[in-house]
C-alpha cells in the first residue's frame, strides 16, 4: 500500500481516499508576476511525479493546481510596466506553461484562476463573519480572528503564544490582534480599476489565503485527499487555509498534507525575495530539459536539495549513462513487467513516499544489465520504468548528440544559423559539421594517415564531441 508522509501527522500514513479508487489532489500553484525559477521547477516536477505514480498505480486522479492572478506583486508589476493586470498575468501564465512543457510536467486536470472565484470567496467570508470568526476593521479590510479558531497552528506545530507580532504580519492598528490575517482587502484610491470587485464590504479584492479555500472547495469538495505545495507554504498559507475552511464548514480540509523540500543556493532557499534565483528558461539555455528534471527527481521530494552548476553537470553525466545503455542495446517494447525483480523493487520504492532515489537505483541496475548482457528486455524495462516518472523517452542517440540542448554548440556554427534567424538550424548545422569531420577522419584512417585521424578526434573532443568506434567500422558520437 502506498505510504505518504503526512505533514499534519508528522509520520508516513497509508493513502486511503475518501472515495475508494479516486484521489482528489489540490496543489498551490504560481503567483504569476514573473518567470518561474528552479525552486518552482522542483515543486512542479515533484507533484507531477506524485500524480503520475498515483495514475500508474491504477487510481483515478483529479488534480487541481491553481493560479494566483491577483496579488500585490502582480499589481506592482502592472503599474510599473503600464499594463493591465490581465496582460501581465496572461504573459507569465503562457511562460509558465512553456517551462512546464519543457520539463515534461503534465498539465493538471483543472487550473483555476483566483479571479474566477471571487464570488465563492465572498461566500466563505460571510460564513466566517456569521460564525464570529471574521470582522471588518476600521480601514475597511475584513480579517480572520485567529485566536477564535481552536487548533490554529496544528499543521506547522506553532502555538499562539509563540507567534509574536511582526513574525508574519506587520503590526496594524486596525486589527484586533496582530496575528489576524486579511480575508478581503479594501480598495485603495491609488490602485487600478481592474483590481477591484464589488462586495458587501465595499470595493476591494481577496486576500491571498482565501483564494485556495474557494478554489479547492469548488472543484474538489471536502475533505481533500491530498493538499500539497512548496516548503514555504506550510506556514502561514496552509495554516490559514485550514482556519478559514474548517472555521466556515467544520470537518477537516485535507486528510494528507504534502510539502516538497526547498532548493538551496549557498545554504539559503532559492527565492525571488533573496535574489538568489535562476529562472527555468535561463537554465534551459545551457542544459537539456530532461537533465533538469533528472536533477530534481534523483533527490527525494522532501529533502533539502542544493543547486550548483556542478550538480547539474553531474546529473547530465548520470543521465547520459542511462541513455548510453539505450543507445547500445535495442530495447523491446513489451511494456513494464511488474513481476520482474526490477518492477517489484521500483514499485516498492515509489510506494514508500515516492522514493525516487531508490527507484532511480533500479534504473541504473537495469542499465548495467543491458550493457553487460545486451538484453533487449532489460533495456525495454529501463525505458518503460523511466517513462513512469517522465524520463528516458527521447531517442537515445538524439539525446547523446545534444540535439535538444544548446550546450556545447560550436559558436561559429551557432552564430551563422542564428544570424539567419534559424534557431532550429543551430542543431542541424552542428549535426552536419560533426558528420563531415567524422567522414574526414574515416578517410584519413583509410589512407593510413593516423596522425590526422587522431587530430580530428582530439579537435572534436575539444568541442565537446566524444567519438565511439563500433564494430564494422561504424562511428557514433555524443556530447561529452
Return the CATH number at 253: 3.40.50.620
Q: How confident is the model at residue 269 (pLDDT cuts 50, 70, 90)?
A: confident
Is the domain of 337 the same as that of 419?
no
Is the domain of 203 the same as that of 344?
no
Tens digit of each residue's pLDDT (9 = 90 or more) over 279-338: 999 999 999 999 999 999 999 999 999 998 889 999 999 999 999 999 999 999 999 999
Is the domain of 296 the same as that of 239?
no
Is the domain of 161 the same as that of 187?
yes
Q: How confident is the model at residue 472 (pLDDT cuts 50, 70, 90)?
A: low
Domain boundary among 333, 365, 400: 400
Distances (CA, A) of 306 to 99, 262, 295, 309, 312: 21, 8, 10, 10, 10
Q: Is residue 277, in this structure, part of any structural domain at all? A: no
Is the domain of 30 the same as that of 155?
yes
Q: Is 260 annotated as a binding residue?
A: no
Least confident of 119-123, 156-160, 162-166: 162-166
| pTM (predicted TM-score) | 0.84
pLDDT, average across residues 242-270: 93
Domain boundary among 345, 379, 400: 400
Cα–Cα distance, 423 to 46 (Å, whole number): 31
Burial class (CB in 10 A: 0-12, 13-18, 19+), 396: buried
* 31 three-state secondary structure: strand
Q: Is 272 annotated as a binding residue?
A: yes
Domain boundary among 203, 232, 264: 264
Q: Is residue 290, in this structure, part of any structural domain at all? A: yes
Query: What is the bridge-based pairing of β-strands 11-14 and 3-6?
Result: antiparallel
Is the domain of 177 the same as that of 203?
yes
The enclosing domain of 345 has a CATH number of 1.20.120.640
Cα–Cα distance, 318 to 22 (Å, whole number): 36
Q: Are 114 and 210 in contact (CB under 8 A)?
A: no
Is the domain of 374 the same as that of 435?
no
Q: Is residue 31, in this structure, part of any structural domain at all? A: yes
Tens digit of each residue's pLDDT (9 = 90 or more) over 443-459: 667 677 788 778 888 88
How many domains are there within the chain?
3
Q: Is 28 annotated as a binding residue?
A: yes
Q: Is residue 470, in this structure, part of any structural domain at all? A: yes
Q: Is 237 annotated as a binding residue?
A: yes
Q: Is residue 445, in this structure, part of any structural domain at all? A: yes
Is the domain of 311 the same as that of 452?
no
Is the domain of 159 the same as that of 180?
yes
Q: How confident is the model at residue 422 (pLDDT cuts 50, 70, 90)?
A: very low
Q: Is residue 272, in this structure, part of any structural domain at all? A: no
Is the domain of 344 the same as that of 446?
no
Is the domain of 380 the same as that of 438?
no
User: Domain containing 343: what range?
Assistant: 285-400
Q: Is 98 annotated as a binding residue?
A: no
Q: Is residue 405, in this structure, part of any structural domain at all? A: no
Selection from 64, 75, 71, 65 nearest residue 31 by Cα: 71
Is the domain of 172 the same as that of 241?
yes
Q: Is residue 279, in this structure, part of any structural domain at all? A: no
Amino acid at each position: 500500500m502506498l505510504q505518504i508522509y503526512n505533514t499534519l501527522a508528522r509520520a508516513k500514513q497509508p493513502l486511503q481516499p475518501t472515495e475508494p479508487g479516486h484521489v482528489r489532489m489540490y496543489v498551490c500553484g504560481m503567483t504569476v508576476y514573473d518567470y518561474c525559477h528552479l525552486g518552482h521547477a522542483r515543486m512542479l516536477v515533484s507533484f507531477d511525479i506524485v500524480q503520475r505514480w498515483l495514475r500508474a498505480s491504477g487510481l483515478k486522479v483529479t488534480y487541481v493546481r491553481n493560479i494566483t492572478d491577483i496579488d500585490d506583486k502582480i499589481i506592482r508589476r502592472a503599474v510599473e510596466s503600464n499594463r493591465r493586470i490581465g496582460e501581465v498575468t496572461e504573459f507569465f501564465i503562457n511562460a509558465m506553461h512553456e517551462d512546464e512543457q519543457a520539463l515534461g510536467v503534465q498539465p493538471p486536470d483543472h487550473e483555476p484562476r483566483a479571479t474566477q472565484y471571487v464570488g465563492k470567496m465572498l461566500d466563505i467570508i460571510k460564513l466566517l463573519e456569521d460564525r464570529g470568526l471574521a470582522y471588518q476593521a476600521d480601514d475597511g479590510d475584513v480579517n480572520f480572528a485567529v485566536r477564535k479558531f481552536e487548533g490554529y497552528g496544528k499543521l506547522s506545530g506553532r502555538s499562539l503564544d509563540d507567534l509574536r507580532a511582526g513574525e508574519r504580519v506587520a503590526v496594524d492598528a486596525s486589527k484586533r490582534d496582530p496575528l489576524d490575517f486579511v480575508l478581503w482587502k479594501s480598495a485603495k484610491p491609488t490602485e487600478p480599476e481592474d483590481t477591484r470587485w464589488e462586495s458587501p464590504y465595499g470595493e476591494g479584492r481577496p486576500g491571498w489565503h482565501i483564494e485556495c479555500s474557494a478554489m479547492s472547495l469548488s472543484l474538489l469538495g471536502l475533505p481533500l485527499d491530498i493538499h500539497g505545495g512548496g516548503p514555504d507554504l506550510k506556514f502561514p498559507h496552509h495554516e490559514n487555509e485550514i482556519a478559514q475552511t474548517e472555521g466556515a464548514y467544520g470537518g477537516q480540509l485535507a486528510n494528507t498534507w504534502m510539502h516538497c523540500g526547498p532548493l538551496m543556493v549557498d545554504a539559503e532557499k532559492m527565492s525571488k525575495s533573496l535574489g538568489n534565483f535562476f529562472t527555468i528558461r535561463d537554465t534551459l539555455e545551457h542544459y537539456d530539459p530532461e537533465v533538469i528534471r533528472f536533477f530534481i527527481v534523483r533527490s527525494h521530494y522532501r529533502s533539502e536539495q542544493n543547486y550548483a552548476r556542478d550538480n547539474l553537470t553531474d546529473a547530465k553525466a548520470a543521465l547520459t549513462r542511462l541513455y548510453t545503455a539505450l543507445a547500445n542495446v535495442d530495447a523491446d517494447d513489451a511494456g513494464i513487467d511488474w513481476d520482474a525483480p526490477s518492477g517489484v523493487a521500483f514499485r516498492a520504492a515509489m510506494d514508500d513516499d515516492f522514493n525516487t532515489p531508490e527507484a532511480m537505483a533500479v534504473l541504473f541496475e537495469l542499465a548495467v544489465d543491458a550493457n553487460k548482457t545486451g538484453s533487449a528486455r532489460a533495456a525495454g524495462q529501463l525505458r518503460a520504468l523511466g517513462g513512469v516518472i517522465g524520463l528516458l523517452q527521447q531517442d537515445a542517440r538524439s539525446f547523446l548528440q545534444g540535439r535538444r540542448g544548446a550546450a556545447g554548440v560550436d559558436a561559429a556554427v551557432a552564430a551563422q544559423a542564428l544570424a539567419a534567424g534559424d534557431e532550429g538550424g543551430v542543431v542541424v548545422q552542428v549535426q552536419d559539421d560533426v558528420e563531415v569531420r567524422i567522414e574526414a577522419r574515416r578517410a584519413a584512417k583509410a589512407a593510413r594517415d593516423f596522425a590526422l585521424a587522431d587530430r580530428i578526434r582530439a579537435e572534436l573532443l575539444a568541442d565537446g564531441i566524444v567519438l565511439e568506434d563500433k564494430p564494422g567500422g561504424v562511428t557514433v558520437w555524443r556530447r561529452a
